[in-house]
Chain A
């Protein structure tokens, strides 16, 4: 006789639900491999002291990383070619670069001619080489840039009364050469609404103009190519370019062993762009070739400095 009972599927359903629940829970629990590390064993850490190497410093017109990328192959090459122990140091500013050089903590200084003249005058730096720019010239210029869509600024004359950002007070292409250009056009520093400096960083100048923070900016030639990947340079327009001046200089302290200087110069001047290995060293640094130099090669810059000495602040 049929009995009035709850059908058997009730218990089956409960069982199926439990199985599903367990299956889901099992599926949800994912085990990872574990590496046992004994944290109870400790050791004291000692900071390694820098070796007594020759130091190679690139005037920080870019960030230390860019400086590294541009010159670490050069440093490695020089060390290898000369047998000297050379390491790159990264001053954080033009002033620090000059200060470190003065303190003897920079043995090989790669600077713009303006800074070179400063450290030569102050600390007896001796130029022993200078570079040939990617343009093929052993000179370079400064550029006045503005936003491409800024119709207020078409000529240098239009820069008068505008806000100006320069690279650094010790920048050659980024300040000194444009300052001379403005001087030659009768525009004085006081004629600008504002003059500010980007701490030596060329990229920062381009970006400040691009962002509209400043009406005009002054950079050295070649900067736009370097910043091409980070800033849309089609938005930047070059208003004017200064006359060309001797390009960057390699200098050493006055007291450095002359044989060491010669080794270094020989290694540097041996670099040739048609050599793929050498080109891999020169190209990142923005150098086509390195040629021997002497202090008098930079006299045009000294002349400029003298001409606008009133505008330069010490």
Chain B
């Protein structure tokens, strides 16, 4: 038998085939067994009957033998022969074995009286004879009177008749079996169709569910609804009005028969409930109802899940938004230090995509040394649970930045929960760019230093100014007294000139230390710049250094000290000239920032620039890279003080970005690294606004 055939057969076919096979096999089995048993029983009965008949014949023949009434003897054996078709023959032998009466029509079979002649005592001798035409059971019984045997009675019963009866019985049972099989097939097909139709309905509903349609209804509505049966009037019961679910599938039903019953006992209690007794169907009906309930429950759950999913998606979107909007670098690593989450700032800073980070470790995404160090540090945090906070200076090419890095372990529960000690499941890193703060910090330090130095220099200058005035006074008196073109007059003139230089230095120092008086008024910045440029342009051009002005006419006047500002411009132009030496360009630009709260003045040159080593010191008093005697090192310090007095800010960038160098490149004139000084001056009394000017 090929099992594949069975597998491919439909359920109804399997049931029909199974029923037919069972009925036929057991019918055949029953027919054979019963016919054999009946045949055996009939044979046994036939033997009993034959034994009884032959004993009866022997008894009846007794008197006839004694009285030698052979006619009656003949009639007697004929009567036995007439008892039925199964009686093949009957005859009587006398004690000498002579046949006295028999039922054979045409002579007595000579071989017959020689067999089965001497049964033991009163017993009946039974012998199966094959006559050549049929099988005959030969029964032999002695005709006894007392202990004397006066003859023998013999009867032959056809075995064929018994076997024919057995065969007829077999055929009858088999025919009944066939009819039973046919009836079983018809009934089985009817019931199977009833079952398979409902199973197919279940299957179709399952397919509908797989396609997403959860509004299936397989179970047929039966009987009356529970609130009609119970007439309970409990309209607040969850089962009330629900046509899709049976009350026994309803959680929280208020039916008194079900109330206060544990769920596992609920179905048991249902068996005595009239609602259950009236409406409960067969197993398939129960399955279909359970299926409907499952679909309805599934729909509810899916609805809840969909709502929860939308909420989670919103939360996730919000989290991602917050995460990505955060300017800090944020990452989350799991307990194996594998990145699970990184924000946009992180990805942008390291120029990595999310796929390149998530699922990887520090060793995978950072250079080997840095990756190993970072991972060792992180692992220590995971092991100790101690958070880490540090400031690091990072230089990536020309990009130098300060970061405040915080690494904290992430627990899977509240640390205070003593019942369940929290477990470290990850590491959260935040790295905030504090470069600006750092710069402010350095500038603050610088400012404080400048202020302290100014006070010191002012004190010194104040003390020196008086003796210098005396020296200058006496020198000028001597010059008036000494004859012209005399050697002495020339010497005193040198003293007077150097004293003038010293007075200027002292005046600068006093200005630096705000010892000089200020004159505050409305100042046109562009005008102050033009006045200074007019003063120096001619001198610079002698060394082929050209000044280019890109002044924004929209710059409003500011409140300040015009002379001091002109001193700043002069210092910057003078420094620029010294940096260029010869053959260069300066560009002075003014610009009003968009928010109209500050003015920016930039002074750029194509000079040799400022090394990075010196950049932090250029505003320090007396710091100069010029040869001895070529500069005092106070120009930028004084300018720093003046701008600070104006609540402004001065900074330098070197090499200067090309956009600050104006048209110089197009002229083909040599361009050095260059430097640009950026002066920001507020337009309001509050000083510079906190936000940067993006137009710089």
Contact = CB atoms under 8 A, between A and B. Distances in A.
**Are A and B genuine complex partners?**
yes
Interface of A: 4-6, 8, 10-11, 14, 17, 21, 24-25, 28-30, 32-45, 47-48, 50, 63-65, 67-69, 72, 88-90, 92
Contacts of B111: 37-39, 41
15 contacts: A6-B3, A28-B33, A30-B40, A34-B130, A36-B130, A37-B129, A37-B130, A37-B131, A39-B132, A41-B110, A42-B104, A45-B107, A64-B62, A65-B63, A88-B66
A25 B112 CA distance: 33
Contacts of A65: 62-63, 66, 145
Contact of A38 (B68, B94, B109): B109
B127 interface: yes
A63 B66 CA distance: 11
Contacts of A89: 67-68
A43 B145 contact: no
B67 A90 contact: yes
A284 B25 CA distance: 66
B145 A68 contact: yes
B110 A43 contact: yes
A97 to B, nearest CB: 12
A288 to B, nearest CB: 20
A117 B25 CA distance: 83
Given A11-B1, A36-B130, A67-B66, 9 more contacts: A4-B7, A5-B3, A5-B7, A34-B130, A36-B132, A43-B108, A47-B100, A72-B148, A90-B67
Contacts of B29: 21, 24
Most buried by B among A17, A28, A33, A39: A39
A96 B104 CA distance: 33
B130 A10 contact: no
Most A Cβ at <10 Å: residue of B4, B37, B132, B145? B145
Interface in B94-116: 94, 98-100, 102, 104, 106-112, 115-116
A13 to B, nearest CB: 11
B98 A48 contact: yes
Interface in B384-406: none
B20 to A, nearest CB: 14
A42 B106 contact: yes
Interface centre among A10, A36, A68 (most CB of B within 10 A): A68
A35 B115 contact: yes
Interface in B616-631: none
Contacts of A8: 3
- Counting chain B CB atoms within 10 Å of each CB, the highest count among A6, A11, A89 belongs to A6
Interface residues of B, number: 46
Contact of B63 (A32, A36, A63): A63
With most chain A CB atoms within 10 A of its CB, the pick from B66, B99, B127 is B66
A10 B36 contact: no
B138 to A, nearest CB: 8
B107 A43 contact: yes
B191 interface: no
A28 B36 contact: yes
B4 A35 contact: no
A155 to B, nearest CB: 39
Nearest to B73: A47
Given A5-B3, A10-B3, A90 B63 contact: yes
Interface string B126-142: 01111111010000000
Nearest to A41: B110
Contact of B128 (A6, A11, A25, A35): A35
B32 interface: yes
Nearest to B68: A50
A45 B104 CA distance: 10
Contact of B37 (A28, A41, A67, A72): A28
A41 B109 contact: yes
Contact of A25 (B6, B32, B150): B32
For the complex of A and B, list the 5 residue pairs with the smallest distance between their C-beta atoms, beginning with the closest. A42-B107, A28-B36, A6-B3, A39-B131, A45-B99
Contacts of B130: 34-37
B84 interface: no
A21 B135 CA distance: 28
Contacts of A37: 109, 111-112, 115, 129-131
B66 A90 contact: yes
A50 B115 CA distance: 26
B668 interface: no
Nearest to B14: A6
A68 B107 CA distance: 32
A300 B3 CA distance: 107
Nearest to A88: B66
A40 B98 CA distance: 19
Most buried by A among B100, B129, B146, B148: B146
A42 B112 CA distance: 9
A77 to B, nearest CB: 14
A28 B32 contact: yes
Given A24-B29, A64-B66, A34 B7 contact: no
Interface in B539-553: none
Nearest to A47: B70
Contact of B107 (A6, A21, A44, A92): A44
Contacts of B6: 6, 10
Contacts of B107: 42-45
Contact of A64 (B33, B67, B133): B67
Contacts of A64: 62-63, 66-67
User: Which of A37, A63, A72 neighbours the largest number of chain B CB atoms within 10 Å of its CB?
Assistant: A37
A39 B109 contact: yes
A32 B39 CA distance: 14
A283 to B, nearest CB: 13
Nearest to A63: B63
Nearest to B146: A69
